[in-house]
Structure formats: C-alpha cells, structure tokens
Amino acid sequence: MQRRWIALVIALTFSGMTQAHEPNKTPAAPAAQAAGDDENLWLDDIDGARPLAWVKQENARTVAQYAESDEFRTLDARILEMLDSDAKIPMVSKIGDHYYNLWRDKKNPKGLWRRTTLAEYRKDSPAWETVIDLDALSATEKENWVWHGVQCLKPENRYCLVSLSRGGADADVIREFDLSTRSFVKDGFSLPEAKSQVAWIDHDHLFVATDFGPGSTTDSSYPRIVKEWKRGTPLASATTVYEGKKTDMSISAYRDLTPGFEREFVMRALEFYNSESFVRGKEGKLTKIDVPNDAETDVEREWLLIEPRTDWKVGGTTYPSGSLLAAKFDDYMAGKREITVLFTPDEHTSLASHSWTKSHLILNTMRDVVSQIQVLTPAATGPWKSEALGGAPALSTMSATGIDADESDEYFLTVSGFLQPTTLYYGVVGQGDREALKHTPAFFDASKYAVSQHFATSKDGTKVPYFEIAPKTMKADGNNPTLVYGYGGFEISLQPAYLAGPGRAWLEKGGVYVIANIRGGGEYGPRWHQAALKANRPRAYEDFAAVSQDLIDRKITTPKHMGMMGGSNGGLLAGNMLTKYPQLYGAVVSQVALLDMKRYPHMSAGASWMAEYGDPDKPDQWKYIQTFSPYHNLHKGTAYPAVLFTTSTRDDRVGPVHARKMAARMQAMGFNASFYENLEGGHGAAADNKQAAFMNALSYVYLWDHLK
C-alpha cells in the first residue's frame, strides 16, 4: 500500500504587510567568504550561540512592539480560553473496546492520553480513564514531551508503540506500552530519537526503519533501510528487509493485521507522489504491485483500490487522473486486470478521501470545494451499489470515517462550516438516522456574518474559487481590513471549517476573512495540483494575486487594508506575494516558511520536496526556481509591505533558517521585517495551547495594526 507523505500540514491561520524603515541593529555577522556568497550563512547554525542571540534579540523587539499591549493580552487570553475550553469536542479513535483521546487544557497543557467507552462517550460529561499523563511524565523525566501518536498490536490491542517528541520536532522516541497495566514495558521495544517508521509484525517482531548510523538515512533525512527486529535482541542485530537509495525519500514496511488477510508490504517512496509498493512473501521475496509509481494504492481485505494521478491506460481502457478504481487483490497480483470504476472526476468534482467500514466504502468527494458523500457496497462483479450519505449544508464540509473496519459498519461523521461549529455524529451504515454525539461551542456570534463563494480569473484564464466570510453590514467601499489565507501545494485542499480562531481574532474586529483555493492544492484533484508544479509554480501565485485583485475590483478592500498569510508551503506563497506582488498588500505574515529556494534541499527535510519545486542544484531547474525564491528576489528601493516571519527552533521539517535569513536580509536592506522564533514547537510552531495562542495572537495583532 502506498502512503502519502504529506508532511507540510500546518494548523495556524494568519497574514501581514509593508513600509521601508531603518534596519534593525543585530549581533554582527561574519563577513561573506567571497563575492556572491550568502551573507547570512552564519544563521544556519540552528543552536549556535551567535544565531540564538540574534533570535532572542529579534524576539524581544517583536514582543515589545506587538505583544505588550492590552489589545494583545486580551486576544491572547481569548484564544487560549478557546483552545483550553472544556466544551470543545474530544475527538476519539477506537482501539479494542475503548475510545481514546488526547486532551489538552489549562490543567494539562501537554495533554492526557485517556480512554472511555462508547456508552460513556455518548454522555455530556463522559467518565475518562487516564492512560498516560504527559505533564506528569515530562516532569518525572525532565523532558518536554509532545504526543506524536500510538500504534497498537491487533487483534488483542494490549501492547502499543508510543511516539513522543522532544519539543514538537518530527524526530521522536518510541517506547512499548502495555494498555492493561497502563505502563511502559520494562525492557520492551524502545528506539532513541530519530525520524523512525515502525510497525508491528507480531508480539515479538517489528518492522523498523530508523537511523541505524552513518549512511542509513536519505538525503531527505528519513530512513533509507527497513529491518526486522526481534524482541530481546539489540537493534544492531536486526535483519535487513529492504534498502533504498540515498536519493530516495523514505523506506518503510508494515504488516496488515486484518484477521484472515494478513499480508506484509514494503514501501519505497522515491519522492512525493512517486512510490513503489511491494508485497513481501515467503523468505522475504518482494513482488511489486504493478501500478504507475504516481498512483495511490490501498489494500483492504480482498480489495485493491487504485487512484491514478495521471491518465492510465490498461487493457485498452484509459482511466482518468483522479479516479478511484477497484480490483480483487489476489486476482490483480496474479495478472488479471478486471477493474471496476468507483469514482470518475469531472471539471467540478474531485475525490477528497475514502474510508472503509467492514462492509462498505465511504467516499468523501468535493464539488467546487463543497462536500458530498457516497457509500459504496462492493459487488463480486460489475458496478458497486452507491447511495448518498445525506446532504451537506450550503458551503460546508462533511467528512465520514469508518470507526473499525475489522469489526463493524459504524462511522463517525463531522459537519462543519466557516460559521457553523463542528458537530460529530455517530452512525451505522444502512441502519437509519445518525446520532449527534458532540457539538463544538460557538466561540463567536456567527449571526453577524455571511459566507459567499466567488471565482476570480487568473492570468491564464483559469477560474479560481475563493470563499469570503464578511459582516452582513459590510459596505463595498474599499475600506474593509481583509485577510487572505492560502496554501497551494502538495495536493492539500482548503475546505470550509469552523473559524473559531479567526472568528474571535479577525471577524469580531470587523475584518473580512478570505480563503483562496489556488492551484497547487487538491481542490480539483491531481490536475489542480500538477498545474502548479516545478516550472509552473508561479501559477499558484498568479491565482492568489487574481483573488486579491478581485477583492479590490469588487471594492471589498484596497491594498492598504489587505493582508495575506500562509504557513509552510503557504509561507513560501507569502514570501512570493511579498516579493512579486508587493503593491497588493499592506502586510504579510509568513509562517514556518520555505524562502531560500537555492539551498532548501540541503536544509532539514527539504530534499523530499524536489518533486514539488525542482532541484536547484541543476542549472536548468534553478533557472525557473530562482523566479520564485523570495530570498533571491529582494530588491532595494522596492516598496514592500510590512512583513512578520514566524518560525520554530525545533522545526526539523522546514527549519528556522529560512525565516532567519529572510528577515536579516530585509532588515539589512532597510525594510520593515519583523521576526519571532518560538524556541520549541516543531513545524506547528507551538508545543502546547499557550504557545499556540501566543503565536496566533501575535500574527493577528500584527496584521490588524498594519491594516486597520
């Protein structure tokens, strides 16, 4: 089974903007070694004394300017109140007979991993049993543990592999845990800090892909080798299952533990959306699943599902990119090509996700970024039975997920809209109405606002959708502070979701909030993503500019009142809107961003994204990459909007160096660039709710200060 290595998901949501000013004084940087050298390479030393002194000085300056007002303190407290709210939905996952949840609040900032029964979960105030207290564990071990997830050995679901991160980095430690005693297993499986991939084979064996020493990781910093490790033996004695190349992205393996369908798989991720999957047979023999390398596959019991990302011709039939196909797994591996079409996209529709129950397949689809759900029932031959699973409210998102595909046809369904707090439903496919279990409280008065969808025309004529959330009393006079948010990469879609944070931080102040569904994302399937890859990356920025210009043309706002924000790949978007379209914005906020596109493959996990952006070490590719490298497109004398760069020292995915260098270069050129680096938090830039509230409040206060 192929797995998408989408590593660039970010949870924050903000924007900022311009004016030249006197450069800030910073600790002196060593002179460049030669003409043309990067004058800010000294900031690459992430934990070095001199760079951290610069970071702390910049942090203090930013805090003094934007985070010491009554306005900031009030907003910070209101966002934290929301994040710590006891009334928010405790989302759960089923392990064995219990439903587990990671819960953070004021009393438990690092979190409680806890469990309950379905009968209790149905209650307004369930009785929870604490399994792991992260705050207590951190205090005992003197570590800042951040929860990274758990894998339990089916079908008993007693022994689990718990992943814990120091400060929120992607790298984590892994320890074996016993759910029956609620304690870590003495002398159990344990791995030191690394970007590991582990999976159970049986009680006494694991698949382990980790840092085994020099040469065992890829250029992308992920494991290059996967081994089989036996309980009670040293990791050094584990036997090799598969070795990839240094230029691959990652290697991993797992065993499907579905009763009656136990199979072992090895995955070789060459790059994003380019992988090979193998079935591991007797004596370790590997047989490739014969599908295009860019296709996604999913094996569930007797079925093989295939999502081709480019048009795929099989036996005289061409299956379009973005479709979903099914075949009997054993027959397919034996060479038969009897394929059933389960979903075909069109100009307006795409497949968002799919999820199995015991007897059915749930399809979450989108039509112009708005949800639709179908339930498919497999047939031995021919078309599968299809039924709609209710309708979504206008401009909202519905998402259904099977609870336990091994045991039942139960599912959870969430329904959410920009102004509609999330509701969690429980249902059983084919058994009548679903049951509303939990509701997110209303964190702001939504009755004052309206949601609308619009389409802007990009430079090449493409229609680009965007959502606008605005006061019902808004006047189209160009004076509305407007924040435009975007991402535009890695086939990630920005669908309607409750705007709890932006509602309190932006809408309540009278601002307009906009989400741009630009190319590079997945709103219209693979074609929408592929339209902005590599040399076509500027299409994403043209789309965002078109949305921004449409807001101006509709007299919603003007450049001095319009800001934009994005994080990670969206932070690269922010950097390009800053440098390529400075005339459109009054302020920009760029979060945990890629910005130096010349050196990005050599920074943190950057080498894994060359399928998205290209390889700057190849002159022919650097020629086009340079056009969207913000760090290399700064020019003295340009009227740039004010900009805030935020990042995290513990971000080992993108890394803080991009933001450090961009801010330093802009300051040296005399531009208004502010900077804040959280000293922990990983790629999400926050290790707990308090830090998340601070980072959110800082960005919103910064934007409002420049756009009001």
- For the chain, the residue count is 708
Residues 592/567, Cβ–Cβ less than 8 Å: yes
Q: Please write the tens of the pLDDT for every residue from 489-516.
A: 999 999 999 999 999 999 999 999 999 9
Could you tell me the two tokens for 598?
């010349």
Residues 108/135, Cβ–Cβ less than 8 Å: yes
Residue 11: per-residue pLDDT: 32
Residue 218: per-residue pLDDT: 97
User: Which residue has tokens 């953070």?
Assistant: 104
> Angle formed by the axes of helices 689-707 and 70-83, to 10°?
140
Q: Please write the tens of the pLDDT for every residue from 421-444.
A: 999 999 999 998 899 999 999 999
Other Cβ atoms within 10 Å of 255 Cβ, number: 19
Beta bridge partners of 415: 398, 423
Residue 393: per-residue pLDDT: 72
Give the whole-angstrom CA distance, residue 26 versus residue 20. 17
**Strand order through the sheet with 324-328:** 296-300, 303-307, 324-328, 340-343
- CATH 3.40.50.1820 is held by the domain 51-81+443-707: yes
Residues 179/157, Cβ–Cβ less than 8 Å: yes
Residue 553: per-residue pLDDT: 98
Per domain, the residue ranges of the chain are 51-81+443-707, 346-442
Give the whole-angstrom CA distance, residue 30 versus residue 384. 67
CA distance between the termini of the chain: 50
Main-chain phi, psi angles of 698, to 5 degrees? -60, -45
Residues 348/367, Cβ–Cβ less than 8 Å: yes
Catalogue the long-range contacts made by 188-196 (C-beta closer than 8 Å, 24 or more residues apart): 188/159, 188/231, 189/161, 189/229, 189/231, 191/235, 193/166, 194/223, 195/170, 195/171, 195/221, 195/222, 195/223, 195/605, 195/652, 196/172, 196/223
Could you tell me the two tokens for 250?
């990652």
pTM exceeds 0.85 for this model? yes
Residues 578/591, Cβ–Cβ less than 8 Å: no
Other Cβ atoms within 10 Å of 60 Cβ, number: 11
Beta strand 673-678 with 642-648 is parallel
Give the whole-angstrom CA distance, residue 157 versus residue 155. 6
Give the whole-angstrom CA distance, residue 326 versus residue 482. 45
Residue 432: per-residue pLDDT: 83
**DSSP of 630-668:** GGG---TT--PPEEEEEEETT--SS-SHHHHHHHHHHHH
**Average pLDDT over all residues of the chain:** 93
The verdict on whether omega for the bond into residue 601 sits within 30 degrees of 0, i.e. cis, is no
- Please report, for residues 28, 322, 499, 679, 681, the alpha-carbon distance to residue 53 in angstroms, rounded to integers and kept in the order given: 11, 49, 36, 12, 19
- Please report, for residues 82, 83, 430, 498, the alpha-carbon distance to residue 446 in angstroms, rounded to integers and kept in the order given: 16, 18, 34, 10
Task: Spot the catalytic one: 568, 590, 629, 648.
Answer: 568
Residues 80/693, Cβ–Cβ less than 8 Å: yes
Helices (H), 439-587: 500-505, 526-530, 538-553, 569-580
Give the whole-angstrom CA distance, residue 407 versus residue 29. 61
- Which stretches of the chain drop beneath a pLDDT of 50? 1-35
Dihedral (CA of 542, 544, 550, 556) sign: negative
Main-chain phi, psi angles of 389, to 5 degrees? -105, 70
Could you tell me the two tokens for 166?
């120091």
| Annotation marks residue 683 as catalytic | yes
| Annotation marks residue 416 as catalytic | no
Q: Please write the tens of the pLDDT for every residue from 532-586.
A: 999 999 999 999 999 999 999 999 999 999 999 999 999 999 999 999 999 999 9
- Please report, for residues 106, 108, 656, the alpha-carbon distance to residue 690 in angstroms, rounded to integers and kept in the order given: 9, 11, 20
Could you tell me the two tokens for 162?
């718990």
- Please report, for residues 265, 448, 474, 506, 676, the alpha-carbon distance to residue 471 in angstroms, rounded to integers and kept in the order given: 52, 6, 5, 11, 31
Beta bridge partners of 146: 165
Give the whole-angstrom CA distance, residue 668 versus residue 672. 10
Residue 54: per-residue pLDDT: 98
Give the whole-angstrom CA distance, residue 454 versus residue 467. 6
Q: Cβ contacts of residue 229 below 8 Å, gap of 6+? A: 189, 205, 206, 207, 208, 235, 238
Task: Spot the catalytic one: 360, 632, 683, 706.
Answer: 683
